[in-house]
Amino acid sequence: MANIPKTETIEKVASVYEKTGSISETALQSELSRTKVRKILITEGLWSSGRSRQIQELSERGKTSSEIAQILDISVTMVQNYRPYEKGLYYESSKSGTAVRSEKYRKRNRSYAKKKSSISTQQIRIANGEQKDSSPDEKNTQFAMHLHLQLRQSQLDSLSPHQAKILSKYGGVSKSISRDIIVPSSLALHQLHFLINVAFGWTNSHLHSFQLPDLLFQKLTDGKLVQIAPVFGYYLKFPSSIFNDSFWDDDYDESKSPRTWMRSKYLKRYKYKGFSDYWIENQVQIHDLGIHFPILNVYPLRWNEKRKVRKVKFEEATLQDVLGAISFPEGMPDILKENLRLHEILSLTPEDIESAKAAALATHKSEIQLYKKYRDLSIENSKRPEGYLDMSAFTRMERIRKKAEPKNIKPVTSELLYSYDFGDGWEIDISLVEEFGKGNRKINNEIAEKVIADRKPVCIAKDGLNVLDDCGNIYGYIDMLRTIHEDNPYEALEMREWARGQGWTGRDVKPKNLI
Q: What angle do CA 426, 481, 210 make, to 5 degrees?
A: 10
Mean pLDDT along residues 13-21:
86
Mean pLDDT of all residues belonging to the chain: 84
Alpha-carbon distance of 8 to 411, in angstroms, equals 50
pTM over 0.85: no
The reported pLDDT for the residue numbered 137 is 47
The reported pLDDT for the residue numbered 135 is 44
Alpha-carbon distance of 332 to 329, in angstroms, equals 8
The reported pLDDT for the residue numbered 5 is 61
Q: Residue 18: which pLDDT band, with cuts at 50, 70 and 90? A: confident
Mean pLDDT along residues 149-175:
97
Task: Using a pLDDT cut of 90, give the percent of the chain over it.
Answer: 52
The reported pLDDT for the residue numbered 336 is 96
When computed from its CA atoms, the radius of gyration of the chain, rounded to whole angstroms, is 25
**Cα–Cα distance list, 479 to 110, 201, 397, 509 (Å):** 23, 17, 53, 22
Tell me the per-residue pLDDT of 483-494, one tens digit each, with 9 for 90 and over: 999 998 988 998
Q: Residue 214: which pLDDT band, with cuts at 50, 70 and 90? A: very high
Tell me the per-residue pLDDT of 451-484, one tens digit each, with 9 for 90 and over: 999 999 999 999 999 999 999 899 999 999 999 9
Task: Using a pLDDT cut of 70, give the percent of the chain over it.
Answer: 83
**Residues 6+ positions from 260 with CB-CB distance below 8 Å:** 121, 124, 126
Tell me the per-residue pLDDT of 419-455, one tens digit each, with 9 for 90 and over: 999 888 999 999 999 999 999 899 999 999 999 999 9
DSSP assignment of 357-375, as one string? HHHHHTS--TTHHHHHHHH
Assign residue 398 a region: left if phi > 0, alpha if psi is -120 to 50, beta otherwise? alpha
Mean pLDDT along residues 180-202:
97
Res 94 pLDDT > 50: no
Q: Number of helices and strands (H, E) in the chain?
A: 22, 10
Q: Residue 156: which pLDDT band, with cuts at 50, 70 and 90? A: very high
Res 237 pLDDT > 70: yes
The reported pLDDT for the residue numbered 71 is 87
Alpha-carbon distance of 75 to 68, in angstroms, equals 9
Res 111 pLDDT > 70: no
Q: Residue 244: which pLDDT band, with cuts at 50, 70 and 90? A: low
The reported pLDDT for the residue numbered 109 is 58
Could you tell me if 339 and 190 are in contact, meaning their C-beta atoms sit under 8 angstroms apart? yes
The DSSP element (H or E) to which 236 belongs, if any, is strand 236-237
Nearest to 39 by CA among 476, 422, 467, 474: 476
Alpha-carbon distance of 488 to 483, in angstroms, equals 8
405 DSSP 8-state letter: S
- Classify residue 414 by burial, with Cβ atoms within 10 Å: 0-12, 13-18, 19+: middle
> In terms of pLDDT, which residue wins out, 439 or 139?
439
Res 513 pLDDT > 80: yes
Tell me the per-residue pLDDT of 30-89, one tens digit each, with 9 for 90 and over: 777 677 788 888 888 888 887 788 888 888 888 887 788 788 877 666 777 788 876 433
The reported pLDDT for the residue numbered 93 is 41
The reported pLDDT for the residue numbered 123 is 30
Alpha-carbon distance of 237 to 338, in angstroms, equals 8
Res 388 pLDDT > 80: no
What residue type is assigned to position 265 of the chain?
K
* Alpha helical stretches, state H, 270-367: 279-292, 319-323, 353-361
Res 175 pLDDT > 80: yes
